[in-house]
A and B are shown apart, each in its own frame.
Chain A
Amino acid sequence: GIQVEQSPPDLILQEGANSTLRCNFSDSVNNLQWFHQNPWGQLINLFYIPSGTKQNGRLSATTVATERYSLLYISSSQTTDSGVYFCAVARGSTLGRLYFGRGTQLTVWP
């Protein structure tokens, strides 16, 4: 399978701070997604970003496929951003056959 490494494993921020989460992967992929798992366990798809840059409000993501890494930026963090952020990748035709990293646990304090 594909190895996915995320850093940092844990991140504690004050509300309003900015952060960058990193995802490295071991092989070429044609699917990369970022997910947020809230404290209740629900998984929300943030970005589908096999290459390039996307932005959605305070979140943005960049994937450099040739160098096998992706970055998730969170600006002006809020307490509701707390949870675990997962990077997941896939290759081949079944794009939901994902390999997940261990995640970054983000805690935002008021």
Chain B
Amino acid sequence: NAGVTQTPKFQVLKTGQSMTLQCAQDMNHNSMYWYRQDPGMGLRLIYYSASEGTTDKGEVPNGYNVSRLNKREFSLRLESAAPSQTSVYFCASSAQGLSGNTIYFGEGSWLTVV
């Protein structure tokens, strides 16, 4: 019943610190994604993993790295945080079914870099 779970929900970092956002899904989906949302904007894709063992860059990958640990888990790492990375981060997973593509989002992680 959990769907997509991401942690932490809130984090404050100092410029130059590193951190990892964790994401797990329990729906047996092949594809997973990391998006960021800035104020007044739609979501923008950072990285995605079409299937276990593969990762690809999205629209805004600079400053981030990802790891598809297994089919369930997809983590996002900020190696040296910058104020421009202050944002809300959403993890998502998707599957293609008979009714089309269904994508499920986590509840978001609010990250502030000071």
Residues of chain A having any CB pair with chain B under 8 Å: 1, 4, 31, 33, 41-43, 45, 48-50, 86, 88, 90, 93-103
**What's the Cα separation between A97 and B59 when bound, in Å?**
10
Question: With a CB–CB cut-off of 8 A, which chain B residues contact A41?
Answer: 88, 107-108
**What's the Cα separation between A85 and B42 when bound, in Å?**
10
Q: Are A86 and B103 in contact (CB under 8 A)?
A: no
The answer, among B33, B42, B88, for a CB contact under 8 Å with A86, is B42
Q: Are A43 and B42 in contact (CB under 8 A)?
A: no
Residue of B59, B101, B107 contacting most chain A CB atoms (<10 Å): B101
Listed A/B pairs (24) with beta-carbon separation below 8 Å:
A41-B107, A42-B105, A42-B107, A43-B43, A43-B90, A45-B103, A45-B104, A48-B100, A49-B100, A50-B100, A86-B43, A88-B42, A88-B43, A93-B50, A94-B56, A95-B94, A96-B31, A96-B48, A96-B103, A98-B43, A99-B59, A100-B41, A100-B43, A102-B40
Nearest CB of B to A85, in Å: 11
Residue of A50, A88, A90, A96 contacting most chain B CB atoms (<10 Å): A96
Known: A86-B42, A96-B48, A97-B58. A48 touches B105 (CB 8 A): no
Interface status of B111 (Cβ within 8 A of chain A)? no
**What's the Cα separation between A45 and B27 when bound, in Å?**
16
Question: With a CB–CB cut-off of 8 A, which chain A residues contact B59?
Answer: 1, 99
The answer, among B44, B50, B56, for a CB contact under 8 Å with A100, is B44
Nearest CB of B to A67, in Å: 20
Interface status of B45 (Cβ within 8 A of chain A)? yes
Question: With a CB–CB cut-off of 8 A, which chain B residues contact A1?
Answer: 59
